[in-house]
A and B are shown apart, each in its own frame.
Chain A
Amino acid sequence: MTVTFEFNVYHEDYHNAGVASSEIKKYLTQIGLNPQLIRRIVICSYEAEMNVVIHSYGGKMVLSIDDNEIKLEVTDTGPGIPDIELAMQEGYSTAPLSARERGFGAGMGLPNMKKNADTFEIASSPQGTIVRLAWGIL
């Protein structure tokens, strides 16, 4: 049995940034997942959500929950990450001033996701970026 949830995320919508992650947290709490695991998932989902807000034209997040695994797929519609290897380095950031002024864009997004997810995949082209994260249950 799988349940899925879909959330839209908009470019530069700083006010609502985090709302999707909050909802994700709410649903994971409702199914009774261990708080420590929820924490790791939400750290990733928030970083991913912020990345879409800061760097992309907009996108969506899909959370799916089944008996064995939690999956989070984050897609956007571009402009893509030119050099993924560079973007994976801690502290490397291309965030614009508008994001940095708000305390975001410290260049920890992707490294944090990699650290906190059981599996982490990323692919990017000018048409968009896709990040796939998964966590095993138990």
Chain B
Amino acid sequence: MKNLVDIHNERCIGCTRCMRSCPMEAIRIVDNKAQLFKERCIYCGNCIIECHKNAYKVYSDSFANLSKYKINVAILPIAIYGLLNNKDDLGGISATLKDYGFDEVVELSGIYSFMVDQILDYIKNDDKTYILTHCPSVTRLVTKKYPQLLHHLLPFSPPFEIAGKVYRRFFSEKYNLQEDEIGISYISECLSNFIVIKENKDKIAIDQVFLLSDLIRNISYKKIDEVKAVKKGVYFAKVGAFKYVSNNRDILAVDGIRNVDTVLEHIDIRKIKNVRLVEAYSCTGGCVGGTFMQENPFVAKWRVNEFINELDDDVTFDINIEPIDYYAGEFESEEGVLTLSNDFREAIKKMKRINEILAILPNIDCCACGSPSCRAFAEDVVKGLKTIEDCRMRKGGT
């Protein structure tokens, strides 16, 4: 099987850009080529966006799979509103996707607007600081780096997953088919959603996933479908939507995975208190900044605003949603990915060795060794991934 994220060696020039952009220190340059250490990765997509050689590759599922189902449904990401010039564009995209072989095309604004009330209702029960789980990279950041904050995560599925369940039921009733005769495809705007689907095919309500950037290139406008969007939900294409539509002062909105990391850190050490909900998105600007958007997030945000102005207020979402569709339960901790050894004494020994190595390094974080910082390099030496000679800037050259 192919890796979920492949790095093409013939394209990679070992420039270290991706490595330096990674919030999890999950990338190293080994023999002048980038290597991704999966267990640390939270699939934020920074590396893909940063690489100027287009060396990172991810693969859409095959259209051939669509033939396995009687009816195929495509779910458009909420970020789609950052790509539209006017209302007709949505219909054009829908019609184009039908040319690709989909029978039904749906979007997510209804699901997002429905979840607002569920979440507000849930968080009013206590005064904990909750973390929104719309963005799977944020959820992964918590499960890997902040296991202490696990119980702060809202126990809800990401919207594409909710949509998968809801629309599978809806269309199986509409067409009078078994649920497994309906094929659900998600057109992903970001690496984060894309990987969750790829990794969990057997557990998730989505059968196929395609990259938005692969599909959106050829919008034809031969025909324009009628697709209705729920205004309140469309706001969720960009960061700050929750705060805006709920008019709640105790919501902290944050975007960009490094900013999210900082905010979580502040919550963890209790530098921030009195926040009820952290509305956090891995990508700049929220979902409009998704890895596969191929549009500047600020331009995309502006488009969303324009689009919202064109929408009628009275469109509502009237498909039934059950708690079982959105309730995910507690997320599982992945603590341990950041530890030096399972054995405590061994870990202390390694830590001591790391400090000793660090003392003879220049501490300028130049990255020429292929590690993201001098400290990370010292760790890599102790782990056996690098040798001290890989540092070309060492004092004294011991």
Q: Which residues of A contact B (CB under 8 A)?
A: 1-3, 5, 17-18, 21-22, 25, 27, 29-33, 35-36, 38-39, 42-43, 45-46, 65-67, 103, 137
Decide: A67 and B268 in contact? CB cutoff 8 A.
no
Task: Write the B309-352 contact mask toward A (1 if CB under 8 angstroms, else 0).
Answer: 00000000000000000000000010110111110110111011
A residues less than 8 Å from B101 (CB atoms): none
Decide: A31 and B348 in contact? CB cutoff 8 A.
yes
B residues less than 8 Å from A67 (CB atoms): 344-345, 348
CA A38 to CA B351, docked complex, whole Å: 17
Binds A, one of B81-89, B207-215, B230-238, B269-277: B269-277
Decide: B347 and A17 in contact? CB cutoff 8 A.
no
Given the known A-B contacts A1-B348, A1-B352, A65-B351, are A32 and B341 also in contact in the complex, defined by CB atoms under 8 Å?
Answer: yes
A residues less than 8 Å from B104 (CB atoms): none
CB-contact partner of B339 in A21, A30, A42, under 8 A: A30
Total chain B interface residues with beta-carbon distance under 8 A: 27
Decide: A35 and B344 in contact? CB cutoff 8 A.
no
Q: Which residues of B contact A (CB under 8 A)?
A: 145, 147-148, 265-266, 268-271, 273-274, 333, 335-336, 338-342, 344-345, 347-349, 351-352, 355
**Nearest CB in chain B: distance from A56 CB, A:** 18
Decide: A35 and B269 in contact? CB cutoff 8 A.
no
Decide: A3 and B338 in contact? CB cutoff 8 A.
no
Residue of A nearest to B145 (CB): A29
Residue of B nearest to A36 (CB): B148
A residues less than 8 Å from B145 (CB atoms): 29
CB-contact partner of A43 in B266, B270, B351, under 8 A: B270
Decide: A1 and B345 in contact? CB cutoff 8 A.
yes
Decide: B147 and A31 in contact? CB cutoff 8 A.
no
Decide: B271 and A1 in contact? CB cutoff 8 A.
no
**Nearest CB in chain A: distance from B365 CB, A:** 15
CA A103 to CA B266, docked complex, whole Å: 13
Complex A-B, nearest 7 residue pairs according to Cβ-Cβ distance, in ascending order: A32-B339, A31-B347, A35-B148, A46-B269, A18-B271, A3-B352, A3-B351
CA A66 to CA B349, docked complex, whole Å: 10
Given the known A-B contacts A1-B349, A67-B344, are A31 and B268 also in contact in the complex, defined by CB atoms under 8 Å?
Answer: no
B residues less than 8 Å from A30 (CB atoms): 338-340, 347, 351
Given the known A-B contacts A32-B336, A32-B347, A67-B345, are A21 and B148 also in contact in the complex, defined by CB atoms under 8 Å?
Answer: no
A residues less than 8 Å from B335 (CB atoms): 35
Residue of A nearest to B339 (CB): A32
**Nearest CB in chain A: distance from B261 CB, A:** 10
CA A105 to CA B169, docked complex, whole Å: 54
Residue of B nearest to A138 (CB): B344
Decide: A39 and B344 in contact? CB cutoff 8 A.
no
CA A42 to CA B271, docked complex, whole Å: 11
CB-contact partner of A29 in B339, B344, B349, under 8 A: B339
Decide: B338 and A29 in contact? CB cutoff 8 A.
yes
Given the known A-B contacts A32-B336, A35-B148, A36-B148, are A42 and B268 also in contact in the complex, defined by CB atoms under 8 Å?
Answer: yes
Q: Which residue, of B145, B269, B340, B341, has the highest number of chain A Cβ atoms within 10 A?
A: B269
Given the known A-B contacts A43-B270, A65-B348, A67-B344, are A22 and B339 also in contact in the complex, defined by CB atoms under 8 Å?
Answer: no
B residues less than 8 Å from A22 (CB atoms): 265, 269
**Nearest CB in chain A: distance from B337 CB, A:** 10
B residues less than 8 Å from A27 (CB atoms): 351
B residues less than 8 Å from A137 (CB atoms): 344
Given the known A-B contacts A46-B271, A65-B351, A103-B273, are A31 and B340 also in contact in the complex, defined by CB atoms under 8 Å?
Answer: yes
Decide: A3 and B348 in contact? CB cutoff 8 A.
yes
**Nearest CB in chain B: distance from A33 CB, A:** 8
**Nearest CB in chain B: distance from A110 CB, A:** 15
Can you identify 23 A-B contacts, CB atoms within 8 angstroms? A3-B351, A3-B355, A18-B266, A18-B269, A18-B271, A22-B265, A25-B269, A29-B339, A30-B339, A31-B339, A31-B347, A31-B348, A32-B336, A32-B344, A33-B344, A35-B148, A38-B148, A39-B148, A43-B269, A43-B270, A46-B270, A66-B348, A103-B273
